[in-house]
């Protein structure tokens, strides 16, 4: 029964892994893997010598790091406040609305964002104009681009990420709150001394697991939002691999960056899973 | 007690309002797009539309529906979503069953499990993957949209965890009555796991509907693009050069109202499907992410 899946995995996951030998070659498609010249670690030396590839690695770390921090803090806080809503119907309504962006693709959202963030009559700049804030070139200025990428990613995902925290909140033993109330603790005090500590283990697990993704700054999002104006500050490893490896046809070099990313990611993921396993007894199955 | 205090009531009112504002910001961009798509061209081009259509008209939807490239890609997307979801679910269902067994029942389970999980954490990267697809002759074929991603390890694990929760007695009874494993799977497990499978189906459908990169990478003739790829090239890249279209169509595509209509139609199936399955999310996701 496991065989069909296994065959697919071998063809589409394990055979490409063999392709990483290309990263040690001056790969020429017309010569193939057997015919291409071996150049050892030349591609990797090139990777660390090129100024733009170092910039790309830094961009990736910065953007992914900021996303990890805010994608943890915002849903955590939001879940606590959402939990204070007593009317269940209203709560469901809010939840339905905030889950929505998670299910839309970055193509759809990219199309929408390019329109509403434009300096030429986009609604966001029109709104800011009401407060006398001049038009901001969100997607054309490198620094603003980074801010925009982080903010829109948090906006897209915070609702859905809240689910895990809401489940944790539902598991808190209600007698703790009753005891605290008898002792005269206000709701604020209860939140500080009961709710937040109770949510910490899950926050740690979510945060630790997210660290494994520090080299994934979000290909879909960046690819659909960026343009040559912000390549310098907005380019990340994945978009760089696509542009250099596929579009420019530097196959060996593209594979080298890809492998560099995969190896570091794998180490980080294993490390983060191990920590999550030891600290919080987390297991995937 | 606490919710009777004066200060908590004040907080509650503010909290309810704040939550409402946050929730609204999650849907406003889409409302704006809808409003633009239903407005007259002149009003939209002059940036007068905010969240309510000006001079309501369905003109842009008529134009979109009459655009053969759009319709083609819509068809590709529907076909891909149906076929891809069916294949993914079948594979996940078949693989999750043996993987959910204990080690003494299914020898080598741990090894197989690792073969699956390893693909989640390590891959050869984009370039070698592209080469394999090319070698298999899948470039520019419809199958490239379905086959490479057919095994979804994440969904398989979710299903595996669900199977773990099924009472062992049910299965034992079936086995004693002489049913084989395959029969047990389809007669006992399939009916029980329908809610779980429905949830996985939604995730898989949303994934297929939203996928655009494979279309962009492996498919070269715009006539075979899935909808998401079509929208990506036309709306996000604004790259009309690769497409053989008449000046009339070009004029049509660049209109703001038509673009908005296309975006909205692209988002519509997702908008319709997900609210109905919300109740399952918590169960399925918590199962997959954090275990007590």
pLDDT of the residue at A155: 94
- The verdict on B108 and B156 lying in the same domain is yes
Over 70: is that where the pLDDT of A247 sits? yes
Contact between A5 and B228 using a beta-carbon 8 Å cutoff: no
Q: Summarize the confidence of residues A254-263 as an average pLDDT.
A: 86
Contact between A78 and B22 using a beta-carbon 8 Å cutoff: yes
B8 burial level (CB within 10 Å; 0-12, 13-18, 19+): middle
Over 70: is that where the pLDDT of A238 sits? yes
Each residue's pLDDT tens digit, A156-195: 999 988 988 988 888 888 888 888 888 888 888 888 898 8
- The verdict on B32 and B115 lying in the same domain is no
Q: Summarize the confidence of residues A75-95 as an average pLDDT.
A: 91
Q: Is residue B253 assigned to a domain?
A: no
Query: Residue A19: its chain B contacts at CB < 8 A?
Result: 124-125, 127-129, 131-132
Contact between B236 and A155 using a beta-carbon 8 Å cutoff: no
Query: Residue B232: its chain A contacts at CB < 8 A?
Result: 107, 110, 224
Q: Is residue B290 assigned to a domain?
A: no
**What distance in Å separates residue B31's CA from the closest CA in chain A?**
10
Domain that holds residue B23: 2-58
- The verdict on B31 and B129 lying in the same domain is no
CATH code of the domain containing B180: 1.10.3720.10
Distant-in-sequence contacts of A239-244, Cβ < 8 A, 24+ apart: A240/A52, A240/A53, A240/A56, A241/B125, A241/B126, A241/B127, A242/B126
Compute the distance between CA of residue A25 and CA of residue A68 in angstroms, rounded to an integer: 35
Contact between A107 and B235 using a beta-carbon 8 Å cutoff: yes
Q: Is residue B263 assigned to a domain?
A: no
Q: Pick from A19, A111, A224: which is nearest to B131 by CB?
A: A19
- The verdict on B49 and B165 lying in the same domain is no
Each residue's pLDDT tens digit, A24-81: 777 777 777 776 777 777 778 888 888 888 888 899 999 999 999 999 999 999 999 9
pLDDT of the residue at A74: 95
Query: Residue B119: its chain A contacts at CB < 8 A?
Result: 9, 13-14
Query: Residue B285: its chain A contacts at CB < 8 A?
Result: 163-164, 167
Q: Is residue B264 assigned to a domain?
A: no
Contact between B121 and A164 using a beta-carbon 8 Å cutoff: no
Q: Is residue B255 assigned to a domain?
A: no
Contact between A111 and B263 using a beta-carbon 8 Å cutoff: yes
Contact between B8 and A17 using a beta-carbon 8 Å cutoff: no
- The verdict on B45 and B70 lying in the same domain is no
Each residue's pLDDT tens digit, A107-124: 999 888 988 888 777 888
Which residue has tokens 């529906």?
B65
Contact between B116 and A94 using a beta-carbon 8 Å cutoff: no
Across the A:B interface, residue pairs with CB atoms under 8 Å apart total: 263
pLDDT of the residue at B288: 44
Q: Which residue has the higher pLDDT, A284 or B68?
A: B68
Q: Is residue B168 assigned to a domain?
A: yes
Q: Is residue B10 assigned to a domain?
A: yes
Compute the distance between CA of residue B256 and CA of residue B279 in angstroms, rounded to an integer: 37
**What distance in Å separates residue B21's CA from the closest CA in chain A?**
10
> SS3 string of chain A?
CCHHHHHHHHHHHHHHHHHHHHHHEECCCCCHHHHCEECCCHHHHHHHHCHHHHHHHHHHHHHHHHHHHHHHHHHHHHHHHHCCCCCHHHHHHHHHHHHHHHHCCHHHHHHHHHHHCCCCCCHHHHHHHHCCCCCCCCCCCHHHHHHHHHHHHHHHHHHHHHHHHHHHHHCCCHHHHHHHHHCCCCHHHHHHHHHHHHHHHHHHHHHHHHHCCCCCCCHHHHHHHCCHHHHHHHCCHHHHHHHHHHHCCCHHHHHHHHHHHHHHHHHHHHHHHHHHHHHHCCCCC
Over 50: is that where the pLDDT of A210 sits? yes
Mutate to test the interface with A, among B51, B127, B184 (most CBs of A within 10 A): B127
Over 70: is that where the pLDDT of A106 sits? yes
Query: Residue A219: its chain B contacts at CB < 8 A?
Result: 213
- The verdict on B197 and B52 lying in the same domain is no
Of A282, A267, A275, A259, nearest to A25 by C-alpha is: A259
- The verdict on B74 and B176 lying in the same domain is yes
pLDDT of the residue at B283: 58
- The verdict on B14 and B81 lying in the same domain is no
**What distance in Å separates residue B62's CA from the closest CA in chain A?**
20
Integer CA distances (angstroms), B97 to B155, B167, B178, B197, in order: 13, 14, 18, 13
pLDDT tens, residue order, chain B (292 aa):
555 788 888 888 999 999 999 999 999 999 998 998 888 877 777 777 878 888 888 888 888 888 888 888 999 999 999 999 999 999 999 888 888 887 777 777 888 888 888 888 888 778 888 888 888 888 888 898 988 888 888 888 888 888 887 777 888 888 888 778 888 888 888 888 888 888 888 889 989 999 988 888 888 888 888 988 888 888 777 655 545 555 555 555 557 888 888 889 999 988 888 777 776 665 555 444 443 3
Q: Pick from B181, B182, B290: which is nearest to A205 by CB?
A: B290
Contact between A223 and B213 using a beta-carbon 8 Å cutoff: yes
Domain edge (last residue) among B13, B31, B58: B58
- The verdict on B190 and B115 lying in the same domain is yes
Contact between A164 and B285 using a beta-carbon 8 Å cutoff: yes
Mutate to test the interface with A, among B37, B103, B124 (most CBs of A within 10 A): B124
* Cβ neighbours, 10 Å, residue A29: 11
Contact between B290 and A167 using a beta-carbon 8 Å cutoff: yes
Domain edge (last residue) among B58, B75, B91: B58
Based on the structure, what is the number of domains in chain B? 2
Domain edge (last residue) among B41, B58, B75: B58
Q: Is residue B266 assigned to a domain?
A: no
- The verdict on B49 and B66 lying in the same domain is no
Of A162, A156, A153, nearest to A78 by C-alpha is: A162
Integer CA distances (angstroms), B132 to A230, B74, B138, B153, B213, in order: 32, 28, 9, 20, 16
Over 90: is that where the pLDDT of A277 sits? no
* Average pLDDT of chain A, as a whole number: 85
Contact between B15 and A81 using a beta-carbon 8 Å cutoff: yes
Residue A95, CA atoms < 13 Å, CB-side half-sphere? 25
Question: CA-nearest residue of chain A to B34?
Answer: A112
- The verdict on B24 and B76 lying in the same domain is no
Q: ipTM, 2 decimals?
A: 0.82
- The verdict on B146 and B14 lying in the same domain is no
pLDDT of the residue at B279: 66
Contact between B112 and A164 using a beta-carbon 8 Å cutoff: no
């Amino acid at each position: 029964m496991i065989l069909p899946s296994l065959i697919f995995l071998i063809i589409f996951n394990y055979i490409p892994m063999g392709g990483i030998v290309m990263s040690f070659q001056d790969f020429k498609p017309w010569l193939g893997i057997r015919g291409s010249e071996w150049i050892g670690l030349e591609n990797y030396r090139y990777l660390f010598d090129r100024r733009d590839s170092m910039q790309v690695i830094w961009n990736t770390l910065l953007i992914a790091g900021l996303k990890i921090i805010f994608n943890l803090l915002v849903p955590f806080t939001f879940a606590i406040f959402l939990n204070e809503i007593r009317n269940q119907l209203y709560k469901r309504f809010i939840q339905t609305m905030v889950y929505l962006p998670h299910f839309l693709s970055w193509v759809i959202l990219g199309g929408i964002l390019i329109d509403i963030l434009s300096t030429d009559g986009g609604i966001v700049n029109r709104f800011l104009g009401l407060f006398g804030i001049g038009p901001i070139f969100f997607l054309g200025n490198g620094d603003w681009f980074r801010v925009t990428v982080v903010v829109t990613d948090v906006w897209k995902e915070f609702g859905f990420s809240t689910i895990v925290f809401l489940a944790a909140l539902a598991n808190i033993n209600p007698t703790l709150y009753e005891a605290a109330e008898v002792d005269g603790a206000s709701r604020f005090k209860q939140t500080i001394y009961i709710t937040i500590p109770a949510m910490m283990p899950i926050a740690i697990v979510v945060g630790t697991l997210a660290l494994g993704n520090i080299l994934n700054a979000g290909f879909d999002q960046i690819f659909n939002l960026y343009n040559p104006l912000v390549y310098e500050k907005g380019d990340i490893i994945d978009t760089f691999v696509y542009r250099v490896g596929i579009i420019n046809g530097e196959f060996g070099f593209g594979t080298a960056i890809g492998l560099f990313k995969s190896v570091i990611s794998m180490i980080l993921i294993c490390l983060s899973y191990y920590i999550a396993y030891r600290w919080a007894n987390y297991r995937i199955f | 007690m606490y919710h009777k205090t004066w200060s908590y009531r004040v907080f509650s009112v503010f909290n309810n309002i704040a939550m409402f504002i946050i929730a609204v910001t999650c849907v406003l961009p889409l409302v704006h797009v809808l409003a633009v798509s239903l407005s007259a061209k002149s009003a939209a081009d002059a940036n007068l539309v905010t969240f309510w259509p000006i001079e309501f008209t369905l003109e842009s939807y008529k134009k979109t529906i009459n655009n053969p490239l759009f319709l083609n890609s819509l068809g590709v997307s529907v076909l891909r979503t149906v076929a891809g979801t069916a294949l993914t679910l079948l594979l996940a269902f078949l693989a999750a069953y043996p993987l959910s067994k204990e080690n003494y029942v299914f020898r080598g389970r741990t090894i197989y499990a690792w073969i699956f999980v390893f693909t989640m954490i390590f891959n050869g990267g984009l370039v070698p993957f592209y080469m394999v697809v090319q070698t298999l002759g899948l470039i520019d074929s419809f199958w490239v949209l379905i086959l490479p991603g057919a095994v979804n390890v994440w969904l398989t694990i979710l299903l595996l965890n669900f199977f773990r929760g099924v009472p062992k007695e049910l299965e034992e009874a079936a086995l004693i009555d002489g049913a084989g494993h395959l029969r047990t799977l389809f007669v006992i497990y399939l009916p029980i796991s329908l809610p779980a499978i429905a949830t996985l189906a939604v995730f898989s459908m949303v994934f297929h509907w939203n996928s655009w990169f494979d279309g962009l990478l492996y498919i070269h003739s715009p006539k075979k693009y899935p909808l998401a790829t079509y929208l990506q090239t036309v709306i996000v890249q604004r790259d009309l050069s690769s497409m053989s279209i008449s000046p009339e169509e070009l004029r049509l595509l660049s209109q703001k109202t038509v673009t908005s209509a296309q975006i909205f139609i692209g988002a519509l199936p997702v908008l319709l499907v997900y609210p109905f399955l919300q109740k399952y999310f918590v169960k399925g996701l918590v199962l997959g992410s954090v275990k007590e």
